[in-house]
Amino acid sequence: MLLFKFNKEKEPEVVMETPQNTSHIVFGIHDNLLECSHCGKVFLPKIPAKIDDFVAECNKFVAQHENCKPLMKLREHRGNLAESMATVIEIPPTLEALKTVINNELSVFGVPEITDNMIRIEPYGFDKRINWNTHIVMIAGYGVYGYIDGPLQETSC
Ligand SMILES: [Zn+2]
């Protein structure tokens, strides 16, 4: 739920408070954009609008993104950490997203399609150098593909 407070000039200067579990959805006072800091999607409510409509529109966006998980980082296995970090990309923290990336990368080299049960993720320790709760990504018949900065999640937005 959102709480709004309009100032006297009826400018869309809005004070919004969200409960703890939606603290990743923020309202930019200056650009009037709602933004989900986990998936990066933004929503521009129509202004001017009736306050009820405005709140309803915003609440809809919040409901859609309430359970969004933050993006995870993925780096490919390389000779050293610096080279590996140069390959970092951010993707949804799901097996589906990971599989898509792996297949896109490996199909170039003629590697047959990787399926869910060929991918194994295991905790690999906390890496203080990069502050990653590192998990290793291994592929059956291929070896170590790379590393992610935390465990996979069940769903994403
Ligand atoms: Zn989101």
Asked whether residue 4 carries a pLDDT value surpassing 90, the answer given is no
| Percent over 70 (pLDDT), the chain | 83
Mode of pairing for the β-strands spanning 89-91 and 25-28: unpaired
- Distance (Å) from CA 30 to ligand 1 centroid: 20
CA distances from 77 to 18, 31, 139, 147, 149 (A): 39, 40, 12, 7, 13
- Distance (Å) from CA 66 to ligand 1 centroid: 7
Q: What is the pTM of this model?
A: 0.68
Mean pLDDT for 64-76 is 91
- Distance (Å) from CA 90 to ligand 1 centroid: 14
- Distance (Å) from CA 118 to ligand 1 centroid: 29
**Band of residue 5 on the pLDDT scale cut at 50, 70, 90:** low
For the chain, what are the domain ranges?
1-68, 72-148
pLDDT digits (tens, 9 = 90+) for 82-114: 999 999 999 999 999 999 999 999 999 999 999
Q: Is 3 helix (H, G, I), strand (E, B) or coil?
A: strand
